[in-house]
Homo-oligomer: A and B are copies of this chain.
Amino acid sequence: MKDRICEFECNIDDMTAEELAFAAERLMEEGAKDVTLRSIQMKKGRPATLLTVMCSNDEAEKERFVHLIFKYTTTIGIRELISERYILDRREEILDTPYGKVRCKSVSGYGVKRCKLEYEDLARIAEERGINIAEARELVLGSQK
């Protein structure tokens, strides 16, 4: 399956890590499909950050995110890249386990078929039992056999 996605980018060297983290969180809450931060080096060797924000390729949505990025960051220029995106079909199932409900994202297409236990549910189980994520995953998978 293919769709189109819009990726906004800007280079920032005058916000602190705290301010960047806050901006990234707000943009996720506003519905961005993804927000990433990357360390880069700008002119005069300054250690800066590249912020990328992905949203759907819809004019109103893009307009909305341009406003939000200008609002939550100090940038004065935002680059826009449109790219095609190949995506797998996704379906969410819910597993009934001795450790509570565990969501399972099942994906398929392009010759692959696999499923992935939801991180938040594994984290809850791991916290409750004082174990790590890998051990929680094993517990859940073991209970399904």
Contact B48 A17 (CB under 8 A): yes
Chain B residue nearest to A20 (CB atoms) is B47
Q: A13, A81, A86, A134 — which one has the most chain B CB atoms within 10 A of its CB?
A: A86
Q: Mark A8-22, 1 if CB is under 8 A from B, else 0.
A: 010111111111111
- Other than the given A34-B42, A39-B39, 5 more pairs (CB < 8 A) read A14-B16, A38-B38, A70-B88, A70-B110, A70-B112
Contact B111 A67 (CB under 8 A): yes
User: Which residues of A approach B to under 8 Å, CB–CB?
Assistant: 5, 7, 9, 11-24, 26, 28, 34-50, 66-67, 70-74, 76-81, 83-88, 90, 105, 107, 109-112, 114, 116, 119, 123, 126-127, 130-134
What are the residues of chain B within 8 A of A71 when measuring CB–CB? 111-112, 130-132
Contact A41-B42, Cβ < 8 Å, known A86-B80, A107-B76:
no
Contact B110 A22 (CB under 8 A): no
> In the bound complex, how far is the Cα of B45 from the Cα of A96, in angstroms?
30
Contact A77-B70, Cβ < 8 Å, known A17-B49, A43-B24, A116-B14:
no
> In the bound complex, how far is the Cα of B40 from the Cα of A126, in angstroms?
26
